[in-house]
Chain A
Amino acid sequence: MVYEVIVGGNPGGKPHRLELEKAAGGWECRLDGQPVPIDAVITRRDVLSLLVDGHAYEIKREQTATDLHMWVGSTRFAVELRDPRSLRSRQKAAGDEKGPRKILAPMPGRIVRLLVAENSEVEAGQGIVVVEAMKMQNEIKSPKKGVVKTILTTPGAAVNPGDVLAIVE
């Protein structure tokens, strides 16, 4: 397998090229063309024991509807993993700024109120809806400047993480 990996939550960052090939007794790994001697075992769901040239690391994987993070010890890295042969990955790499963007509920909660109406213009970072969980209210903001095309929720509705609340175009 060949992957493009961006570490550090910077989508515009230069990706690492990671090559992983199954070999006798394990995996052969090349990072940016350099061979790296590794031994990897998944010890339980989302926990990887990785030996690199005798150095031992325990890496935990955290994934949500929208995010992928790797915890190396207690340092957390946002990671973007792309298959360069996938069309979608290439489209995505071209940038997210164009086209409609869905606004997703980041956590389970209840919709308290809507801050904008359909077809209103919003700035990037402007609040769209207010979600309440554990007695605290959180404003969900627009990821981009544009027009609120559709609002898919109503005050009082219960939402789950990943639910689409609105679409900004």
Chain B
Amino acid sequence: MFKKILIANRGEIAVRIIRACREMGIATVAVYSDVDRAALHVRKSDEAYSIGPAAATESYLRMDKILDTAKRSGAEAIHPGYGFLSENAKFAQACADAGVKFIGPTPHSMEMMGSKTRARQEMEKAGVPFVPGTSRGLASPEEGEKVAERVGYPVMLKAAAGGGGKGMRLVHTRQELRSALESAQSEAQRSFGDSEVYIEKAIVNPRHIEMQILADEHGNTVWLGERECSIQRRHQKVLEEAPSPIVDPDMRRRMGEVAVKVAQAANYTNAGTVEFLVDQQKNFYFLEMNTRLQVEHPVTELTTGFDLVHLQIRIASGEKLPFTQSDVEIRGHAIECRIYAEDPDNNYFPSPGKITVLLQPSGPGIRRDSGMYEGWNVPMDYDPLLAKLIGYGSDRQQAIMRLERALYEYFVAGIKTNISLFQRILRDADFQAGKLDTGYLDRLLAKNNQAVTARASEPKIETLETIAAIAAGMFAVLDPASPVSKNGSVAGTPSNPASVPSNWKQKGRSEALR
């Protein structure tokens, strides 16, 4: 077993990996950029080293600095987390060349899965079901039109090197195809430095369901159940759950077996995730494989009882999987909310800044993987994910109730978060009925917010308004730092900023009023 591991990441995932290492008696090395000196992962680690300026390209993406830090600190392995260098085959190769173990798959498997067209070609050979279309980049618009004719409109154009919705176009008719292809190719070239674009039949209102797999370096591969990830916005997941409300044991077994086949075809090792699109008839199609630990791994941990980070480290150190497929049992239900620094009143635009108040939930069935703390300044340079709140229950209904309760206890001030969004989702009738697809969240957000039905036990809205009015006054009289005593007026809408009061005037006024 390793004695020391470097974590080449930041935020909640770095903290989560540091925790696993501490549990296993492994020393941890954190790396940080200039703006992350006070970040939680630095505070929690045994050793921490600066690797450069705020921009990720000059710090968390710098392979040379990270490998140099590993050597200097004597770390035997590197855990890449998710994002940053986690799916970079060159980095995995550089680790191998430097004699440091990369906790993840081999560079070869990563390369195969990193290109969507190459992955398709390999999976075609292995007999894995995938969405009808081409397994190679389109040579010409004419070829695109021919394929689209064969599989039927609507079709989806996708960048081979793509991800995050970049270089993707939905095409409904032949007339749109040519210009859509051109813009997808140029966007792919700009975003990924590779203009290869392929074509697939578009699945209407698909679900996005993925299967967790684990493979050791001795040829054993198991599946650990699916995660329903259909609740997305701008092609980013927002809420995930396990198991999926529509997957029964037979479908789970079939999906699991296909996922294992995918992993074996790629000679895959360590933790990985096979993503599927599922149509309304519950047919599932291979989409891609994510060659890393996923953000949403906790829901699988809660429903299987396995610690995926422990297992990743044990596999990387050469151990065999300590269980077989028949030991895997799905119990209960888990739902994860991704708490982002985003402003719900401003179209969920990122909202970095200083966290002035943080009240965090706990209690039965609640797990919180967080990278924030009160007083921390959330930097503007990285992804807005602050924390993950996961609710677990013996069934889906209980998991929902526990999460609602925990969200009620969760409060972050100083920056804006999307906590209120989850209260809307959890109370929504379609969500509760499990009627989900990748268009769900956009439809929900288009609805009037007031349509959310209050629970019977909650006071009427008029009562709450009265309470808010009294509370505002009580804060003002009890808290001397209160804004009203400073400004004379504080508004819920942008106030007239031309008025910055002088301290003398304020002092005089408050004295006179006494």
B219 / chain A contacts, CB cutoff of 8 Å: none
Question: Is A151 an interface residue, CB under 8 A from the partner?
Answer: no
Q: Which residues of chain B (460-514) have a CB below 8 Å from chain A?
A: 461, 464-479, 483-484, 487-499, 501, 509, 513
B459 on interface, CB distance cutoff 8 Å: yes
- Per a CB cutoff under 8 Å, which of B459, B488, B489 touches A55? B459
Determine which residue in B346, B498, B499 has the highest number of CB atoms from chain A within 10 A of its CB, and name it: B498
Query: In A27-79, which residues have CB < 8 Å from any B CB?
Result: 27, 29, 31, 36, 38, 40, 42, 44-48, 50, 52, 55, 57, 59-64, 66-79
A147 to chain B: which residues have CB within 8 Å? none
Task: Judge whether B513 and A85 touch: CB under 8 Å.
Answer: yes
Q: Does B413 contact A (CB under 8 A)?
A: yes
Question: Does A100 have its Cβ within 8 Å of any Cβ on chain B?
Answer: yes
> Distance in Å from the Cβ of A71 to the closest Cβ of chain B?
7
Instruction: List chain B residues, Cβ under 8 A from A1.
Output: 473, 476-477
In the complex, per-residue mask of A108-121: 1 if CB is within 8 Å of any chain B CB, else 0: 11100000000000
Within 8 Å CB of A87, what residues of B? 488
By secondary structure, the A interface counts as strand
Q: What chain A residues lie within 8 Å of B346 (beta carbons)?
A: 106, 138
Taking a contact as CB atoms under 8 Å apart, the answer to whether B494 and A104 are in contact is: yes
Least Cβ distance of B334 to chain A in Å? 22
Q: A31-B470, A92-B495 in contact; A60/B411 too (CB < 8 A)?
A: yes
CA A44 to CA B420, docked complex, whole Å? 22
Interface centre among B349, B383, B415, B498 (most CB of A within 10 A): B349
How far, in whole Å, are A133 and B357 apart by their CA atoms in the complex?
Answer: 21
Q: Are A77 and B465 in contact (CB under 8 A)?
A: yes
Complex CA–CA separation, A78 to B383 (angstroms): 28
A96-B496, A104-B494, A134-B352 are contacts. A77–B468 as well, Cβ < 8 Å?
A: yes
Indicate if the CB atoms of A70 and B472 lie closer than 8 Å. yes
| Residues from chain A with Cβ under 8 Å of B407 in the complex | 74
Contact of B499 among A68, A88, A136 (CB under 8 A): A88
A81 interface residue, CB < 8 Å from B? yes
Say whether B497 contacts A102, CB under 8 Å. Answer: yes
Q: What is the distance, in angstroms, from A62's C-beta to the closest C-beta of chain B?
A: 5
Contact A11 B491 (CB under 8 A): yes
A20 to B493, CA, bound (A): 24
- Is A7's CB under 8 angstroms from B474's CB? no
Residues of B contacting A59 with CB < 8 Å?
Answer: 467-468, 471, 475
| A46 to B, closest residue via Cβ | B357
B490 touches which of A36, A40, A63 (Cβ 8 Å): A63
A104, B383: Cα distance in complex, Å: 23
Is A99 within 8 A of B498, CB to CB? yes
Bound Cα distance A59, B461 (Å): 14
Chain A residues lying within 8 Å of B478, measured Cβ to Cβ, are 40, 42, 48
| Complex contact B492–A86 (CB within 8 A) | no
Q: Which of B341, B413, B465, B471 contacts A8 (CB 8 A)?
A: B465
Contact B411 A83 (CB under 8 A): no
A89: interface (CB < 8 Å): yes
B350 within 8 A of A: yes
**Contact between B381 and A134, CB atoms less than 8 A apart:** yes
Q: Across the interface, do B470 and A18 meet the contact criterion of CB distance under 8 Å?
A: yes
Whether the pair B473, A18 counts as a contact (CB closer than 8 A) is yes
A70 contacts across to B, CB distance below 8 A:
468, 471-472
Q: Which residues of B contact A156 (CB under 8 A)?
A: none
Q: Does A107 contact B (CB under 8 A)?
A: yes
How far is B484's CA from A72's CA once the two chains are assembled, in angstroms?
19
Contact of A89 among B381, B459, B489 (CB under 8 A): B489
B423 within 8 A of A: yes
Residue-wise interface mask of B (336-371) relative to A, using a CB-CB cutoff of 8 A (1 in contact, 0 not): 000001010010011111001101000000000000
Cα distance A74–B384 in the bound complex, in angstroms: 22
A7 to B383 CA separation, bound complex (whole angstroms):
34
Nearest opposing residue in chain B for A139, CB measure: B349
Q: Which of B415, B466, B489 touches A31 (beta carbons < 8 Å)?
A: B466
Residues in B with CB closer than 8 Å to A161 are 353
Query: With a CB–CB cut-off of 8 A, which chain B residues contact A44?
Result: 357
Q: Kindly supply a per-residue 1/0 record for chain B positions 378-400, scoring 1 wherever the CB is within 8 Å of any chain A CB and 0 otherwise.
A: 00111110000000000000000
Interface of chain A residues 121 through 161 with chain B (CB within 8 A) = 133-136, 138, 143, 161
Question: B343 CB to closest chain A CB, in angstroms?
Answer: 7
In the complex, A77 Cα to B476 Cα: how many Å? 16
**B353 neighbours in A (Cβ, 8 Å):** 107-108, 161
In order of increasing CB-CB distance, the 3 nearest A-B pairs are A78-B492, A134-B350, A86-B488
Q: Please name 8 further chain A to chain B contacts, defined as beta carbons within 8 Å, in addition to the given A45-B479, A88-B487, A138-B350, sorted by A numbering.
A: A50-B470, A57-B467, A61-B475, A66-B491, A74-B423, A83-B489, A107-B351, A108-B352
Seen from chain B, the residues whose Cβ lies within 8 Å of a Cβ on chain A are 341, 343, 346, 349-353, 356-357, 359, 380-384, 407-408, 411, 413-415, 419-420, 423, 458-459, 461, 464-479, 483-484, 487-499, 501, 509, 513
23 A-B pairs with CB atoms under 8 Å apart are A18-B470, A27-B474, A38-B474, A45-B356, A60-B413, A61-B475, A66-B491, A66-B494, A67-B494, A68-B483, A68-B491, A72-B464, A79-B469, A80-B492, A81-B476, A81-B490, A92-B489, A107-B349, A107-B350, A107-B353, A109-B352, A133-B352, A135-B350
